[in-house]
Structure 1
Amino acid sequence: MFTLPASAQEAPAAADEQAGGDIIVTAQKRPELLSKAPLSISAATGDQLKSAGITDASNLATVIPTVRIDQANGLQVTIRGVSSADGTEKGDPSAAFMLNGVYVARPQMLSGAFYDIGRVEVLRGPQGTLYGRNATAGVVNIIANRPSTDKFAAAVNAEYGNYDTYRVDAMVNVPLSDRIAVRAAGAYNKHDSYLIAGTGVGDHKLGQDQDEYAGRLSLDAKFGSDDQGELYIVGDYTHQGGAGTQAVTMANFYGAATTTSPVYLHPSSSEARTVNYPVVSDPYQDNKIYGVTAKAKWDFGPVNLTYLGSYRIFDQDQRSTYVNYNANRYAEQYQYTKNKSNSQELRLATSGDGPLTAVAGLYYFKEKSDYADTVLHGYAGFPLYTFQQGPVEAESKAAFGQATYEVVKGLRLTGGLRYSHDQKSRLGATIYDRSSSVIGADTNVLSSINDAARTDSKLTWKAGAEYDVTPDILTYGTVSTGYKAGGFNDGCAAGSPGCTSPVVNLYYNPEELTAYEVGVKGKALNRMITFSLAGFYYDYTNMQLSSPGLIGLTTLNAGKATIKGIETQFTLIPTSQDRVDLSINYLDGHYTEYRPTTTVDFAGRPLDNSPNWVVTAGYTHTFPLGNGGDIAAHVDTMISDDYYVTYFGNGTQFRNPSYMKSNANIAYNAPDDAYYISAFIKNIENSVQFSGYGAGRVYVSQPRVYGVRAGMKF
């Protein structure tokens, strides 16, 4: 575990430099020290990610303990009990996932490789002013290393582990002049399936493997007579191969799994990961994720102007076995997606050290998808059952501003506003065939039309105060609001063209959240201790909760909930050879008004993926060597309270019991960090949990992994 208080958004060129033990961050869209950011945030540097063996987003909870990231239809991010299980083409996450400050819309695009990363930053709580779109839970930002004009540099890292794991990444940084530099980085990750073949699998492949390669090319240039201009361009490409994700059945974890009274079976790791259903065909995935991002900045003296734009594409082509354990149905499933997103932001911010700091901007986002989900092999008596959706479009426009003013020395007040206007629409159809498995055959039957559109607008705001108790200690208090636009389910409205079977609950409303937070952070005992403490209370209304049907997913609003908690993080560095990390977090999130069915009342019940207690602790000791190198030994552990995952169709809550996961690593670091060799083990207890419930199918977390890792710098 490496946890530090920090902040989030795109980084300046020096953002990854250490400044007196602090990280320079830009949570409020301006650079500041993490210990001076009046926000509840966690961060991990690229070196910490590498030491912890973090190679993709699904493992971020190892270094950010207050965040849950689960495998479902893409990655599902939960922050302080706020989440979204709708990973379909019409759904939106509740936590905004950013890549170099640019919003990534589809959760299926988040599982790309981590390589040459500067840092990861997580903002907790609604970020309705500076971020806005789908940031009800918070923001996760992945920030790549930028090119540097300082010197030529290169590095390579390689890893081998169990499950026949091979990982390699490399980078080269080339200064072209004292004002222009380029950087190239790439990675290849591969491991066999974490699943185990049981009854009915035969010779078919299993999912939960990895076969992925990725590359990134970036350019950083300064221009103008005094280098007041800056241009940063990044192009990246990722290919995801292998068999892809594949579910197991809920029976691996529960007896009476299809009833409203499931009994947890306490399975071993191998029992939880065994596939015991008929796999009808070899799964595969052939997914491509790529895009380009450009950031331009000009310093006018008292103010600076920044432009941030990006265009991204997601091509999905995959086949898997569709699992409906509740109905005892298994079928061949194909999914195709063509998703294009366009993000544009223009903002003006103050410069200098005056009492007023402010930022104002305009934001535009447009997303368009064409999607096909086809189930074959006689599912429910149909050789062909397919959802043909497209175009599916989403457009968001916003204007925002936030200002902080120092009223008297050490006391600052902050206010911010954002106006958001969101539009969504979808055209499509559900088609079946009782005699043919060919799309477009003369015997295809149009089952229903999917035709819906919705527009939402909202003014969100933030108010806060902060005070420097001492030069090293900051206290703050904020009230902020968040909102996520409404949407629609499968079907059409009465009176719309071609609508023969209108849907009653076609639309659902925006969800809204008001958060109250107080905190204190800083350094103590001659800066030997870095600490952060925060207490919060959420008033959460119209929660968007999604439940799977036989095929498809329905989202409804869930009344009201309250969330409150306390988060603490401490880092103690008593000597230059010792470091202790400790994080203790309490969360109480429960429904106050919600009935998933007419006979089930959820008032007082806990929210999903929200353990009451999560404690992490880590210790690192460095042994200096006479040659100038060292040996670093590290151990850490995370203990999580039990939590629930709900099937909202009938109100059943599946309890996931408390668990403990520990990691260890020992590394030899050569003089001047020229190279390193390490051995590691993650999840020593071999503890496995499930996530992503849907019609009796679930996904399992990573089991125990171990291996060796080495790297070299040039």
Structure 2
Amino acid sequence: MKRMTNHMLRMASGSAIAALLAIGGQASAQSAADGENQGLEDIVVTAQRRSESIQNVPVAVTAFNTQELQRANIQDVGAYFQNTPNVFITDSPVRSGNNVSSSALGLALRGISNVGGNASSFGIYLDDFNISNIALNPHLIDMERIEVLRGPQGTYFGRNASGGVMSLNTAKPDTTGFAGEANVMAGRFGTYELGGMVNVPLSDMVAIRAAGKWETSNGEFNNKAPIGGGNGRDYKAARLSLRATPTDALTIDLSYNYTREEDDDFGLIHTGVLSDFIKSICPGVTFSCPVDANLGFYPNNRRNYAHDAPLVVDNEYHIAVGRVAWTGENVGVTSITGYGSAKFDRSGELDFSSVDFLREGFNYERRKSFSQEFRVQSVGDKRLNWIVGAVYAQDKHREGEFIAAGVQNDIGLPEDFPIELSHYNQKITSKALFAEATFDVTDALSLTAGARYSHDKIKRFEDQIEFGGPLQNVQGSRSFSDVSPRFVIKYKAADHVNLYASASKGWKSGGFELDPQRARSDFGAETLWNYEVGVKSTLFDNRLRANLALFYIDWNNVQVSSGVIGRDANGNIINYAGISNAASATSKGAELELLAAPTDQLELGLNIGYLRARFDKFADARTNFGTVDLSGKPLPKAPEWTLSTFAQYTVPLTGDFDAFVRGEYFYTDDAYTTVNNIAAVLTGQPRFPYEVKGYGKANLRIGVENDRFRIVGYVENLFDKKYYTASFDFGFANGAAVVPGLRRWGVRGSVKF
């Protein structure tokens, strides 16, 4: 089956390339005959901290401008990731997935993901401010552009950039005139959204811009236990920004972002697959596991669950960014100041069943981030372009959780017995210096060299009580330093054809925590080297854009979190998590991105990613299924094939209105989402649900639009494909659980004024 899938994908990609080239050639001939050619719109990106065409940047980057974000109905991280090759994201029960479990909202770029450690392996930047510690899935309101940079971006982005970077660029206030937009959405599951933007010039030099949205939903899933509450949600997001241009050379941008997310429940759908540990603590004294078999299990049951108590999830964050840029004749200076805070609270239902098995008294997180960056760089298109800069940053994270036994815990514990009581405080202070220069040896050949020096100091306090045991704690500090270089060769082989080769290093600092023996356990920094060659071309009179990248990643001292719940040799229940540098890995693959406009009415796109990412050495992985050897096994969140494609056709109507139809198809190959899931299958557990099976889904959009009005009807997962992207093993009495993919439909409308 696997070989057949690979063969079909190869045939599909080869046929698509041939078709696009043929269409592109016909379009070129036709446009030459007509004397007209609109072709593909160029996208300008800032991947190298200066404005450049995406086709001239020697980085594997996928970018979406305002128009593409609207066309593809991109509303969150998952939507733009599924349009990017060799990127994988797991669905989360709630939007703030980083506060749910290690399986939730897991991101991976080229197989590099947060397998463990205190810091993220990828950066999420909002207007050049790193918000990875604040929000993994920010609401996309009034965006100008999104860039997904694959591979280490250490020179410019540094922290949390070993796997890649998502750079989010918001629309800025405009002094040229008043403008506004209002939009509305109504969709399946009682989902409604209101949003809008207003731009107000205050003078020739100052303008303000406000944008926001409100989303409410009854929820996709049905709680069959009435006392347990529902599965609805209520989201609010807003941004207020100001731009001042006191002189032609000076620009000041200030923005404040606010988000509040309230979810009623996770609404997980159980599979009925029980681990050996769950079987051992569920002997049937007061109930038998799985307890809610009457509802059916996935895939026969995709929407019903039973929770005996409500679960309250509340996430709120604030982000403020100040940017001051002065541009002289030869030199530019930029200052970026950012501050963010996040508050997360969760309490209530924890066993996700109709029995009172476990309760969560509280689970809170408080996170703060501050950074100050200064950059000085050359201005203009010179033979030597350079940039130097410095960054000071501080991330704070405070967390606590209390888990207690319910009255029906079935293992003889008194009600409210403290199964886990834990707290930790951590502060990471980062300092960095970076520099990079590009020298044009000839008009066709350029060489780039850069490096970043980083120093992280980590201070941490952690305490924990497990199953009524003694209070244990660790505290202290550690420091880590690194120099990460980057080298690039770029060659212009022909007009609109650029070749490049690069080598870049990624780095993530280490830390320490309580280990399974309840003592301090230190882990070191992890590093990786990404070697890449690529070609970027714009062909057939700007009717076809074809980009190809080949890469090899050498990942060493991989920080791996090992979460273990089970019984020790004496039969006592144990629950712990540890981080080690026990693994090394390699990732290699290819990425093909094609975009074609055969005519001014038709646009076609195809992205294909091939990935082979494996643990080279991981002999003693500690998991829920024992200590196992994962050497040679695939990395989590690393499907071998990913594919996305679309076709959009536009037809002029009466007046200035156009009608359009857009079809999309996405495919993701088999994958595992955690180390535990890999170990489960390796030790003889059923592949379902631990292995996420490959799936394909189709979307359809039909609408009409002009410069002011737009109305679109859409269907996501058109053929109601049964799939899930992650399995959650904290389902306890009902076994492992999933978040099923469902068919969604709705109507979106907008008006500009």
Counterparts of 1:532-547 in structure 2 under 5 Å? 532-547=547-562
Is 1:322–1:333's contact at 8 Å kept on the other side of the alignment?
A: no
User: Structure 1 residues 73, 271: closer, same or farther in 2, change over 3 A?
Assistant: farther
Distance 2:151 2:583 in 1: 20
Distance 1:324 1:708 in 2: 33
2:69 aligns to what SS in structure 1?
Answer: helix
Is 1:589–1:607's contact at 8 Å kept on the other side of the alignment?
A: yes
User: Structure 1 residues 544, 649: closer, same or farther in 2, change over 3 A?
Assistant: farther
The match for 2:315 is 287
Which residue of the other structure, out of 590, 594, 601, is the alignment partner of 2:618?
594
Distance 1:581 1:258 in 2: 47
The match for 1:205 is 229
Is 2:698–2:718's contact at 8 Å kept on the other side of the alignment?
A: yes
Q: Does 1:475 align with 2:511?
A: no
Is 1:280–1:332's contact at 8 Å kept on the other side of the alignment?
A: no
Counterparts of 1:201-240 in structure 2 under 5 Å? 201-207=225-231, 209-224=232-247, 227-240=248-261
User: Structure 1 residues 393, 62: closer, same or farther in 2, change over 3 A?
Assistant: same
The match for 2:106 is 76
Distance 1:130 1:246 in 2: 40
Distance 1:50 1:178 in 2: 30
User: Structure 1 residues 701, 473: closer, same or farther in 2, change over 3 A?
Assistant: farther
Higher relative contact order (CA 8 A, sep 6+): 2
The match for 2:370 is 342
Q: Does 1:525 align with 2:540?
A: yes
CA-CA distance at 1:79 after TM superposition = 0.5
The match for 1:22 is 42
1:651 aligns to what SS in structure 2?
Answer: helix
User: Structure 1 residues 190, 176: closer, same or farther in 2, change over 3 A?
Assistant: same
CA-CA distance at 1:351 after TM superposition = 0.4
Which residue of the other structure, out of 719, 723, 726, is the alignment partner of 1:691?
726
1:575 aligns to what SS in structure 2?
Answer: coil
CA-CA distance at 1:599 after TM superposition = 6.2
Which residue of the other structure, out of 391, 415, 423, is the alignment partner of 2:457?
423
2:630 aligns to what SS in structure 1?
Answer: coil
The match for 2:400 is 372
- Identical residues among aligned pairs (%): 28
With normalisation by structure 1, the TM-score equals 0.86
Deviations 1:237-287 (A, max 9, x none): 1111132545444536x898979xxxxxx97556255435xx342111232
CA-CA distance at 1:618 after TM superposition = 0.8
2:219 aligns to what SS in structure 1?
Answer: coil
Distance 1:192 1:36 in 2: 46
User: Structure 1 residues 387, 457: closer, same or farther in 2, change over 3 A?
Assistant: farther
Q: Does 1:102 align with 2:119?
A: no
User: Structure 1 residues 53, 593: closer, same or farther in 2, change over 3 A?
Assistant: same
Q: Does 1:407 align with 2:441?
A: yes
Distance 1:318 1:40 in 2: 38
User: Structure 1 residues 136, 567: closer, same or farther in 2, change over 3 A?
Assistant: same
Q: Does 1:159 align with 2:174?
A: no
Distance 1:258 1:386 in 2: 17
Distance 1:527 1:101 in 2: 31
The match for 1:632 is 660
Which residue of the other structure, out of 208, 216, 219, is the alignment partner of 1:193?
219
CA-CA distance at 1:156 after TM superposition = 0.8
1:50 aligns to what SS in structure 2?
Answer: helix
CA-CA distance at 1:19 after TM superposition = 11
Q: Which has the higher strand share?
A: 1
Gaps of 5+ in 2: 1-37, 100-104, 280-295, 566-574, 682-689
- Matched positions, count: 657
Paired residue type of 2:66 = G
User: Structure 1 residues 217, 546: closer, same or farther in 2, change over 3 A?
Assistant: same
Which residue of the other structure, out of 574, 578, 595, is the alignment partner of 1:571?
595
Distance 2:737 2:329 in 1: 55
Counterparts of 1:604-615 in structure 2 under 5 Å? 604-615=632-643
Q: Does 1:242 align with 2:263?
A: yes
User: Structure 1 residues 531, 543: closer, same or farther in 2, change over 3 A?
Assistant: same
Q: Which has the higher helix share?
A: 2
User: Structure 1 residues 552, 161: closer, same or farther in 2, change over 3 A?
Assistant: farther
The match for 2:11 is none
1:251 aligns to what SS in structure 2?
Answer: coil
Distance 2:255 2:200 in 1: 15
Gaps of 5+ in 1: 1-17, 260-265, 435-444, 493-500
Q: Does 1:559 align with 2:579?
A: no
The match for 1:705 is 744
Paired residue type of 1:232 = D
Distance 2:64 2:297 in 1: 33
User: Structure 1 residues 708, 552: closer, same or farther in 2, change over 3 A?
Assistant: farther
2:106 aligns to what SS in structure 1?
Answer: strand
Which residue of the other structure, out of 487, 492, 503, is the alignment partner of 2:519?
503
Q: Does 1:656 align with 2:692?
A: yes
User: Structure 1 residues 491, 543: closer, same or farther in 2, change over 3 A?
Assistant: closer
Deviations 1:31-59 (A, max 9, x none): 11111111001111233223322222233
Is 1:297–1:306's contact at 8 Å kept on the other side of the alignment?
A: yes
The match for 1:67 is 87
The match for 2:145 is 119
With normalisation by structure 2, the TM-score equals 0.82
CA-CA distance at 1:695 after TM superposition = 4.3
Distance 1:76 1:83 in 2: 8
Paired residue type of 1:691 = A
Q: Does 1:171 align with 2:191?
A: no
CA RMSD of aligned residues (A): 2.7
